[in-house]
Amino acid sequence: MPDAVSDASDAGARIVMEGLTKRFPGADVPAVDGVDLDIQGGEFMTLLGPSGSGKTTTLNMIAGFEAVSSGRIALDGADIARLPAYRRNLGMVFQNYALFPHLSAAENVAFPLRQRGLGKAEIARRVADALELVHLGGHGERLPSQLSGGQQQRVALARAVVFEPRALLLDEPLGALDKKLRESLQLEIARLHRELGITFVFVTHDQDEALALSDRIAVFRDGRIEQAGTPAELYETPASRFVATFLGDSNVFTGRVRDGLLDTGWCGLRVPAPAPGGPVALVVRPEHLRLAASERAGENVLSATVTDVVYQGAFRRVLVRFDGGGAGQVRDAAGASVAVGERVEVTWATDAGVLVPDEQRPVA
């Protein structure tokens, strides 16, 4: 196995999709509809979206498991859209592990090397290195049934990287694990990415997972990419109401901007400039809202009634109903004393909000 790579682009493949489209027979609309995405060598790119958004179909077209209806997929400049999966030399990790139950962990990891015709000594060396890489040294003789779910997923990871691919595709690899084990393996996947330096393309519907692992995230909706960017860009400056509400919690106020104020029909709110034309949505993250007794300069203030308080350890989610209409939530310090039914003032700085077009399509 290669040592940790300082220049990830030397080890990782660049994957470029142009107009990538997939139409299934009998379907009214494409599953993937003209996707353009440039994944840099060594990058950790996550394809994020709800079920049916096209993210897994896109990954399967990169892998060669689904035929491309139209468009182009380039691997280091070479078009692979019509190339069989076995000739793409890409590592693949599945949600259900896909291990051979009758083979030991070491034999599972050795399988792609035997398919490539390597000698016994080279296979033994690479398998031992791969198992050590995923912290399973000494477990090589065990069958999958003798391993925990997390250990089986580690074997799957070792098998996917043992032949030293320049890109690794991961299809919701942690979806079958419990929360604590998921979080542990997230750290392991991040470590593997750092040490190997190869390109990772990771599919998930878990927003927290995407934020924790990714260099960049492509948010899918209805077969298209709604927005692509770093986790901070997507969270702090979402381009649409869908991205804002899908990636983390948000307070959303809709209306039209007139004379520097958002007219919601039940209140007027100061907005950051400039304002897009037409109906807009003002998005404010819960952590930017405060429960305060008085207004400060440059802030919005709304009166509200507390409808619920959810204790979450380091903070509390305070759910409120604003006077005049609309529900919201505040992420307040865990020590804050507030009760259901209590009257409160909710405030936030004007520049803490983000204005986006108010979409006519339903928000997930």
Q: Are residues 66 and 215 in the same domain?
A: yes
Same domain, 263 and 329: yes
- pLDDT tens per residue across span 52-82: 999 999 999 999 999 999 999 999 999 999 9
Q: Residue 295 — very low, low, confident or very high, per pLDDT cuts 50/70/90? A: low
Q: Are residues 347 and 300 in contact, defined by beta-carbon separation less than 8 angstroms?
A: yes
pLDDT at position 260 is 83
**Tens digits of per-residue pLDDT, 224-260?**
999 999 999 999 999 999 999 999 899 999 999 988 8
243, part of any domain: no
Looking at residues 134-146, what average pLDDT do you find?
96
pLDDT (0 to 100) of residue 294? 59
User: Which residues constitute the domain of residue 268?
Assistant: 249-357
Position 335 confidence tier, pLDDT thresholds 50, 70, 90:
low
DSSP symbols for 122-155: HHHHHHHHHHHHTT-TT-TT--GGGS-HHHHHHH
Indicate whether 263 belongs to any domain: yes
271 and 183 part of one domain:
no
Q: Which residues pair with 291 in a beta bridge?
A: 346
**pLDDT-based confidence at 105, cuts 50/70/90?**
very high
**Residues 227 and 279 occupy one common structural domain:** no
Query: What was the pLDDT predicted at 360?
Result: 54
According to the model, what pLDDT value does residue 334 have? 60
Confidence of residue 85 (pLDDT cuts 50, 70, 90): very high
Residue where one domain finishes, among candidates 186, 210, 236:
236
In a domain, 269, yes or no: yes
In percent, how much of the chain has pLDDT > 70? 93
Asked, for residue 102, whether it belongs to a domain, the answer is: yes
**104 plus 206 within the same structural domain:** yes
**Which is nearest to 63 in space by CA: 47, 83, 77, 34?**
83
Claim to verify: residue 230 and residue 270 sit in the same structural domain: no
Residue 192 covered by a domain: yes
Q: Is residue 3 part of a domain?
A: no
Q: What is the CATH number of the domain that holds 90?
A: 3.40.50.300
Are residues 148 and 176 located together in one domain of the fold?
yes
Where on the phi/psi map is residue 147: left (φ > 0), alpha (ψ -120 to 50), or beta?
Answer: beta
pLDDT for 363 beyond 70: no
Q: What is the mean pLDDT of residues 302-308?
A: 94
Residue 133: pLDDT over 50 = yes
Report pLDDT for 293: 60
Q: Are 226 and 317 in a shared domain? A: no
What pLDDT was estimated at residue 323?
Answer: 95
In this structure, the answer to whether residues 188 and 258 fall within a common structural domain is no
279 and 208 both lie in a single domain: no
In this prediction, residue 251 carries a pLDDT of: 96
Find the CATH number of the domain harbouring 332.
2.40.50.140
Q: Are residues 295 and 208 in the same domain?
A: no
Q: Is residue 328 part of a domain?
A: yes
Residue 44 tokens, joined: 């950790």
- What pLDDT is attached to residue 338? 87
Residue 278 is assigned to a structural domain of this protein? yes
pTM of the entire predicted model: 0.91
Residues 205 and 98 placed together within one structural domain of the fold: yes
* Structural domain count of the chain: 2
pLDDT at 6 over 70: no
Q: Which of 189, 207, 236 is the last residue of a domain?
A: 236
Report the pLDDT averaged over residues 140-148.
96
Tokens of 76: 């280091």
Q: Enter the DSSP assignment of 287.
A: G
Listed residues 212, 236, 260: the one ending a domain: 236
